[in-house]
Chains A and B, each alone.
Chain A
């Protein structure tokens, strides 16, 4: 089928019962709900006008008030008793929706989980056998410490400022700061508090499992009017092209690094290693990564940093020579 006709038939099968239940709805609202332009809905309606039961005796074509459409931009559809309900959900639609809801359930706090459970059980009932297929997909989300999470939920619900003790691994340091919570984000299997940070004076993402303590303060959360949640459509961590570039040679034991971090380039070397280019913001982070890889990775560039890592390893070895 031409994709156009397939999409159109799919949309029209939903459009008819939708319009039957919403007599006189504006064309713009229909277009918004269906995620297409109003002109596309008009095209759909002009096709539907020719649909129905053409039989001369029991003739029963779908009727659309074209004057109301042209004049007031509203849709009045009648005579479609044979299409009172939409088509049931296709397996992939039901599955996508159920898995999305399960992900939401994993990320939910106690107060919201009940509504998700009720919605899930109603949808699973409405989709019948497909609910069984849904058992084949599972999503695990890490929500950090339960007490930390419930305090943050409380602050978000009451719109209150929090005080955070937050561990910054690249500096191996626990920091203290006040923050105005905006929302909880779950991406790449981790939970984050997105908040206006009074110390950094910008919107920051705080990984829940790195918050060692959180307290709700009396002050209201008042992020400045300009503070916006980050646009996460391109992924949580976008390497900044202005960040310095490191080049690493990975032995087999360190190849996971290429899967784990967004890398700029990868190239197999003649000696069976993988050479990757990796942007880093914080040199402490890169030093710790190379130390952790314990010889399975060689830092090629920048050379000054490679020397610093060697010095750090030597200083560490001195701890053992006593």
Chain B
């Protein structure tokens, strides 16, 4: 069954590919042997299905008017320049990095899309070696359940709806988004787009989407901004730029992670060094300082000192929330 179907689809493709102009359905029926022994209705149905299936593979079947005098007024063809992979010629070092790219995606559907792409390049004369040993091994993992649905929506520009659990919320809310892009930032995937509910640009962490995203409109029904800069948008997620300065005492032999960032430092006595740190968010700095326990003391400003003391008091159980 598979064999006969594959054969029919190949012959239909070849028939349309060699046609110099649009050719009629009846001529196609003559040319493709598998269509011979069936009734008119059965042929019509099968031809329509075959056409769609070839389009799914990315084969550009065009329809257009044919010369007068024929029964059908619509004809079909495949334009060779839209079908064929353009000439790609890669230098040895370029082919080597393309081979490495095959190993980047740690995600079933994107890994197989990469493999299919490489197969076509190889068929087009590019010698790609996928098994070469490399001293560079970058990986892109995507274990977020919503990833595929969001990725498809981004590439097709389809508006979506999804359940979302914000970082600090216990409830799942419904969001409506025109996704512009998807970005991997510090190992996590975020989708950026126009939030219809808030009428503004927003960013969502894909792992916090419940289940899958559902299309709520047609592909291509909106356009992302021309000056879309995903990286600049992602940067708004990163900690704010350091604009304040904190004074912290670090115990001898501890806190190297802090010392490396110090703007200034001086030895207080044989136990403590006082350092100055630039910081953006007092809350984040207090979180980090608390993690060092008795090995650091927050001195100034009061905002940071009080926040550290409060964290420690809560953990010590001397203060209740």
| Interface residue stretch chosen among B38-46, B107-115, B195-203 | B107-115
Contacts of A198 in B (CB 8 A): none
A172 and B116 form a contact (CB under 8 A): no
Q: Chain B, 125-149, contact with A by CB distance < 8 Å: what is the 0/1 string?
A: 1000000001111111101000000
Within 8 A of A (CB), among B7-49: 7, 9-11, 13-15, 17-18, 31-33
Contacts A136-B182, A172-B254; A268 near B14 (Cβ below 8 A)? no
Contacts of B262 in A (CB 8 A): none
Contacts of A177 in B (CB 8 A): none
Q: Between A and B, how many residue pairs show CB distances below 8 Å? A: 363
A317 at the interface (CB under 8 A from B): yes
B134, closest chain A residue (CB): A183
Contact of A138 among B169, B231, B257 (CB under 8 A): B231
B109 to chain A, nearest CB (A): 8
Contacts A93-B114, A126-B85, A289-B291; A9 near B97 (Cβ below 8 A)? no
Contacts of A274 in B (CB 8 A): 170
A5 and B2 form a contact (CB under 8 A): yes
Contacts A93-B114, A96-B113; A189 near B125 (Cβ below 8 A)? no
- The B interface, classified by DSSP as helix, strand, loop or mixed, is helix
A1 at the interface (CB under 8 A from B): yes
A281 at the interface (CB under 8 A from B): no
Q: Chain B, 270-302, contact with A by CB distance < 8 Å: what is the 0/1 string?
A: 000000000000000011101111110100000
A283 at the interface (CB under 8 A from B): no
B69 at the interface (CB under 8 A from A): no
Contact of A88 among B86, B113, B140, B294 (CB under 8 A): B86
Contacts A136-B224, A295-B321; A259 near B97 (Cβ below 8 A)? no
A75 at the interface (CB under 8 A from B): no
B314 and A295 form a contact (CB under 8 A): yes
A185 at the interface (CB under 8 A from B): yes
B168 and A253 form a contact (CB under 8 A): yes
Contacts A255-B168, A291-B311; A9 near B9 (Cβ below 8 A)? yes
Within 8 A of A (CB), among B148-195: 151, 154-155, 167-170, 180-188
Contacts A14-B123, A136-B154, A137-B181; A188 near B3 (Cβ below 8 A)? no
A259 and B86 form a contact (CB under 8 A): no
Bound complex: CA A272 to CA B184 (Å): 30
B105 and A317 form a contact (CB under 8 A): no
Bound complex: CA A90 to CA B112 (Å): 12
Contacts A86-B84, A294-B287, A316-B293; A137 near B183 (Cβ below 8 A)? yes
A47 and B97 form a contact (CB under 8 A): no
Number of interface residues of A (CB under 8 A): 124
B66 at the interface (CB under 8 A from A): no
| Best-surrounded residue of A34, A93, A123, A186 (most CB of chain B within 10 A) | A93
Bound complex: CA A34 to CA B313 (Å): 62
B168 and A252 form a contact (CB under 8 A): yes
Contacts of A5 in B (CB 8 A): 2, 5-6, 9, 53
B170 and A233 form a contact (CB under 8 A): no
A100 and B102 form a contact (CB under 8 A): yes
A107 at the interface (CB under 8 A from B): yes
| Interface residue stretch chosen among B88-96, B210-218, B239-247 | B88-96
B104 and A138 form a contact (CB under 8 A): no
Within 8 A of A (CB), among B213-264: 224, 228, 230-231, 234, 253-257, 260
A82 and B208 form a contact (CB under 8 A): no
A68 at the interface (CB under 8 A from B): no
Contacts A93-B113, A104-B104; A291 near B11 (Cβ below 8 A)? no
B14 and A82 form a contact (CB under 8 A): yes
A104 and B309 form a contact (CB under 8 A): no
Within 8 A of B (CB), among A104-142: 104, 106-109, 112, 115-116, 118-119, 122-123, 125-126, 128, 133, 135-142
* 22 residue pairs bridging A and B, Cβ less than 8 Å apart: A33-B119, A47-B3, A53-B14, A85-B85, A87-B57, A87-B58, A87-B83, A90-B58, A97-B114, A107-B136, A115-B97, A122-B88, A135-B230, A137-B183, A137-B230, A139-B140, A167-B257, A173-B254, A255-B168, A294-B311, A312-B293, A315-B293
Given contacts A87-B84, A316-B293, 8 further A-B contacts (CB under 8 A): A1-B53, A82-B17, A83-B17, A107-B136, A295-B311, A310-B315, A315-B294, A320-B305
Question: What are the 10 closest A-B residue pairs judged by CB atoms, nearest first?
Answer: A295-B314, A294-B311, A189-B187, A188-B187, A93-B117, A313-B316, A292-B291, A85-B84, A100-B104, A90-B58
